[in-house]
Structure 1
């Protein structure tokens, strides 16, 4: 009888699952490289660069490039090609598409994993302090080199990142001081118009000569994705590359959490605990949400008590893919635990 009630509730409730703002990144197995000619030597170098970029988009793992299997694949890059060609607009480009099964096997041989093509949409508030200590928040249409390099790095990494418009709506609400001081209430409020999954705050400034840092410029950054939070620092001699360095660091952190391992084709079981399930209705809703996630074969309720339920998920994928989908669901709040498998249900009115 209880199972019958659950099935009936699934039919009634199924259409009310929250929409996800995450972006499905396409063309992960192809890339194009700017070239100056169609010579054989330049073609080989461009194909190698295209394969490196493809591996970086798929794994978010720079260390994979040093693996002997990848180094050999770069020398024999044509073996992984499906097709290539040249494209002409204002520049000449070489476009290459690689064989997905072979590339996946190469990544497995290199001991890494593949980051799902469903990736969080991020909004970056980038504030730059110049040599005169004047600060400026960068807009999406800025022609500053640091912005152009940041946007290029985001495309290269397959990371959906945008800067704010900084139109009247933004500038009437948020100031340079708000961004520099990381006043999150204000930043979160003004960010809602962009519907991001996560918010990056990056600050660029000169390093302290007495700190013993060789590089002249530094950027510190924080990334908030739901209840998850990362932070870090990058340095460089030229401040214009720091936007790209922040994107690279953020990608490394996200890919580390969400990369799908080489054993993702086997059946896995993963236990998830969800708090704040106050009644049967919310418990059923949570089970339905878990069942709707990609590659889930079965969801079993193992126990319930004190408004907390424990589910076992049977899946034909890596838990990292499921974890990413849950983190982006807007209705399950990840809790900071060692298991990375505990969440809190968010009641949406």
Structure 2
């Protein structure tokens, strides 16, 4: 069997492939606020930038404390390809980390990585102040803090146009409802994976917010506060990112070697699946008709969450076949090596 020829056939209709999960092109770039370009501030900024990246990639607030990463925090430039300053406002240290070196460091520390293919999030964000209420639209000046925070926390963010009709939908009552029924119809045009509702209020120069995020049948919620719109947006996006990451990043030590079978790959879904499986060290080992077979290292929950982004459905496990030796005699089950196999299809 020639894998190359079969993959070429699979990829012929790639440009007609619908995209669900969004691939972050700047996942390993961090914009870290700094007060100046002085060496001490720069060095402290590089360390904070690595902390930001580790949290973005693992979703684990305690990951930066791993003893295996101590040497990198002492000298972050081991993982940095380049850095520079951005005048802003606000002034920021822009740090580009090397993806391969960073991923290797995290995996050697036993920390699972959340890859670049992530669920897109549509944010209905209402700002309320003494001057009135306004739904934040994608072309408004008020969207800048949200976009900066989403980039910092590794979320593919989408914002509504916030036209007159959407302003009437994005009310405090709808944003604080237990279910997003009133927002669903208006959200369909944006084709996002997750729906975020935020009611932000300003009083006495301080900002507070309640937020809810829905993805599939699950809902998460939280509260945030900040002295500025940027600080509030960062607190909200951090909370959302950490909650979502629990679906897509397995806990330390939960990953195991598994066989993954995917059927229905005749529409060049190969490229989409490859991006989703990249952080799991996926290796394509067989192409048989419209079936792809991979070997991956991940937890079952992590695999299910990632593949759901491509609208894949899990198939029942195949019945186990009794093992026999060369003479056709039954082999005791304890003598037969077992291997996890998950099956999915479109």
Is this a same-fold pair by TM over 0.5?
Answer: yes
Q: How many residues align?
A: 300
| 1:81-230 paired onto structure 2 within 5 Å | 81-86=80-85, 93-128=92-127, 136-144=134-142, 148-171=144-167, 175-181=171-177, 184-204=180-200, 219-225=209-215, 227-230=216-219
- How far off its partner does 1:49 sit? 2.3
CA contact (8 A) 1:265 1:317 kept: yes
- How far off its partner does 1:37 sit? 4.5
Alignment gaps of 5+ in structure 1? 1-6, 207-215, 273-283, 302-310, 335-340
Question: Secondary structure in 2 aligned to 1:62?
Answer: coil
2:298 match: 318
- How far off its partner does 1:118 sit? 0.9
The answer to whether 1:327 aligns with 2:325 is no
Change (3 A) 1:266 1:137: same
Change (3 A) 1:184 1:342: farther
Question: Secondary structure in 1 aligned to 2:62?
Answer: helix
Change (3 A) 1:288 1:263: farther
2:221 match: 232
Cα deviation code 1:284-314 (max 9, x no counterpart): 638988866224636899xxxxxxxxx9964
Alignment gaps of 5+ in structure 2? 1-5, 275-281, 316-341
CA RMSD across the alignment? 4.6
Question: Secondary structure in 2 aligned to 1:316?
Answer: strand
Change (3 A) 1:199 1:86: closer
- How far off its partner does 1:156 sit? 0.4
TM-score, normalization by structure 2: 0.66
- How far off its partner does 1:165 sit? 1.8
- How far off its partner does 1:110 sit? 4.1
Cα deviation code 1:115-173 (max 9, x no counterpart): 110111110112355589x76533334545xx654332211012111332211352466
TM-score, normalization by structure 1: 0.66
1:308 match: none
